[in-house]
Structure 1
Amino acid sequence: MTAATGSANDEAWELLRWARRLTEPELRAAVARFAAPVRTVAGYHFGWWDEAGRATQVGWGKGIRGALVLSGARALGGRVSEAVPVAAAVELVHNFSVVHDDVMDGDRTRRGRATAWSVFGARRAVSAGDAMLAAAWDLVAGGYPAARELSDALRALVAGQSADLTFEGRDDVGLAECVAMAAGKTASLLAAAGALGALAAGAEPARVAALRRFGHHLGLAFQLVDDLLGIWGDPAVTGKASGADLRRRKKTLPVVAALTAGTPAADRLGELYRGRGPLAEPRIPEAARLVREAGGGDWAHREALRRRELARTELSAARPSPTGARALDLIADLVTHRDL
């Protein structure tokens, strides 16, 4: 990493910290209104306390979606203070989806510690996720365009998550439909975050649409990088168990790109993935090697960078202020180049 790259990276992280400082009081206030059993699970998930209610400093994630809302509003001339409730709403929807996703996927590790469902049980975790979703709507209920934007994103998110689960039982998933699944599951909410920032600034429809497209491409880049890290990332950095997606024979973007490559390595990977139940532990490194040999890793890396460039084009079309453009560009770079 060059000094210039390191400096830009530091600046991007400071933008995320700035956004979290503004957003967290809204999140805490929302969770404080939950009933006691649900409040305990939600606060644990956000890293504010442990399972016994003792204060902790684990943190509730990067806050990228909220940062996009706040940075987008500022970039298009809006008042950041007016965008804070919307940023909190986006983060609540994201965390609702994360809690439910962990239950559906059976993931036991998130952000470096046990997932909420593995500590409190699936039913209580689902209830906490539902409460987060309801709280998100409380925060945007007074603004019809914002509520509609978030509602559209949620429908796409749920459809994408449903497709993701369906893919686990199929052996014929195509790359185009896998990209469409990721567009719903992940990119829809980042696209909404971009649009919501523009709406909070009172921007005209063309600029709102440009920031929505910016978030869409950035969301796909985010998912591509996330899938790469899910196979080859360091658990100490990612906070997730190594090889968890491969263990479940999950059809992630690099895996589907590899499975559809039409090479001997793709055929061998297909044989591994055609079984049912968890992949045996000794086979996980073999599966990772076959994904790489079949070109899935290289394709995902190239596609993430391509989506990053498309996001840059759409950001320019939104005509942000120079300082606002830099902030959003820094966040996009951070998302795309995470440990790649």
Structure 2
Amino acid sequence: MVAIEETGHGRPTAEVLADVRDIVAPALRAAVAALPPAPRAIAEYHFGWRDEHGNPVSGASGKLFRPALALLAARTVGGADRDAVPAAVAVELIHNFSLLHDDVMDGDTTRRHRATAWSVFGTGSAILAGDALLSLAFDTLAASGHPAAGDAARRLDTAVQRLIGGQSADMDFERRTHVDAAECRAMAESKTGALLGGACALGSAFGGAGTAQVEDMRRFGELLGLAFQIADDLLGIWGDPAVTGKPVHSDLRNRKKSLPVVAALSAGGTESGELVALFTRDRPLEGAELARAADLVEMAGGRSWGEHETAALLQQALDHLRRAAYAGGPASDLAALARLATRRDH
């Protein structure tokens, strides 16, 4: 088992992410450029590369967190960056396929501080652009010619199917009056954990890892994904829209049964009871009701539970990372990225 520095003596995480961006971004742009004109224009807008008229712009692009996991996973098991680039590109394409569809399903009108693709180009066109990215992800793996590509495609397909299942459960929960903690956790593990686990598994497999290492890296990513989802749930309630780029209280408006909300709904007591009453009304929550719901989640213990659970899951994830890490691999970079992802403000 490899020791991982807890004090951040390696490179700053911002430098690591910039390094990953320099490696992955050109390959990602090249992959998207191969799409037919209509979905390509929407995808390039969604990625923040062009405006709605097709003019090049800067800024607003995603953080490339999942590609970073894939590339750093390859490094952690002793692999080369160039070998893992197709895996990194594929998981980012899948992630953005899901975002394009999520924005349609949730009715969100802003992402990354700009109008969502569906609100600019229309619902049908945005869905088709997402479908194009999904197909392109598997084509990217197949075209790589890497010996692990076949197994990687199967792993990615499993992750996508779990992601879709998790998203379906998330939507179903909005219509239900009661959701227990176990099924909510299973939803979050699938909705977010599956793809982060897939990113780490694909990256390590393309980096030449053995079966046991790939499995540990997959589990690291899944546990990190669950911690990441809870941190994202907290931001969905208390995050500053000026920082997150998302509408305030969007998740509460949609009555999402996120893990912190379910913890608060199940807590018992006056605040929990009032929250249950708000969530079971037959009309959408608006204005002061949304602010009150956020206060009730906190008073019923949902916020403190979420913060504690995020920290515990991170430690479990790091245990798997320690088992998988190659003795000479830079596991500290991946560990630092995991900590950043679970202690963020956007």
Mark yes or no: TM-score above 0.5.
Answer: yes
Choose which of 178, 181, 189 in structure 2 pairs with 1:175: 181
Deviation of residue 323 (structure 1)? 5.0
Q: Per-residue displacement from partner, 1:10-52 (whole Å, max 9, x unpaired)?
A: 8112222221221111221122122212111110000000001
Deviation of residue 320 (structure 1)? 3.0
Contact kept? 1:95, 1:132, Cα under 8 Å? yes
Q: Which amino acid aligns with 2:40?
A: R
Q: Structure 1 residues 8, 127: closer, same or farther in 2, change over 3 A? A: farther
Deviation of residue 172 (structure 1)? 1.0
SS of 2:133's equivalent in the other structure is helix
Deviation of residue 251 (structure 1)? 1.0
Partner of 1:106: 107
C-alpha separation between the residues in 2 aligned to 1:205 and 1:10? Answer: 29
Count of matched residue pairs: 337
Partner of 1:33: 34
Partner of 2:87: 86
Deviation of residue 242 (structure 1)? 0.9
Q: Percent identity?
A: 50
C-alpha separation between the residues in 1 aligned to 2:276 and 2:319? Answer: 37
Q: Which amino acid aligns with 1:77?
A: G
Choose which of 126, 150, 157 in structure 2 pairs with 1:151: 157
Contact kept? 1:74, 1:80, Cα under 8 Å? yes
**Moved runs in structure 1, 4+ residues, more than 6 A?**
5-10
C-alpha separation between the residues in 1 aligned to 2:25 and 2:279? Answer: 41
Query: Which has the bigger relative contact order, CA under 8 A and spacing at least 6?
Result: 2
SS of 2:175's equivalent in the other structure is coil
Q: Which amino acid aligns with 1:310?
A: Q
Q: CA RMSD in A?
A: 1.8
Partner of 2:292: 286
Q: Per-residue displacement from partner, 1:248-295 (whole Å, max 9, x unpaired)?
A: 211111111100111211110010000234212111110000000110
SS of 1:168's equivalent in the other structure is helix
Within a 5 Å distance, the mapping from 1:132-151 to structure 2 comes to 132-141=133-142, 142=145, 143-151=149-157
Q: Structure 1 residues 219, 54: closer, same or farther in 2, change over 3 A? A: same
Match status 1:217 vs 2:213: no
More deviation, 275-284/194-203? 275-284
Contact kept? 1:9, 1:334, Cα under 8 Å? no
Partner of 1:230: 236
Contact kept? 1:247, 1:281, Cα under 8 Å? no
C-alpha separation between the residues in 2 aligned to 1:7 and 1:232? Answer: 28
Partner of 1:261: 267
Q: Structure 1 residues 113, 171: closer, same or farther in 2, change over 3 A? A: same
Partner of 1:163: 169
Q: TM-score, normalised by structure 2?
A: 0.94
Contact kept? 2:166, 2:190, Cα under 8 Å? yes
Structure 2: gaps spanning 5 or more residues = 1-5
C-alpha separation between the residues in 1 aligned to 2:284 and 2:9? Answer: 41
C-alpha separation between the residues in 2 aligned to 1:277 and 1:145? Answer: 47
Deviation of residue 9 (structure 1)? 10
Q: Which amino acid aligns with 2:175?
A: G
Contact kept? 2:77, 2:329, Cα under 8 Å? no
Q: Which amino acid aligns with 1:63?
A: L
Match status 1:12 vs 2:13: yes
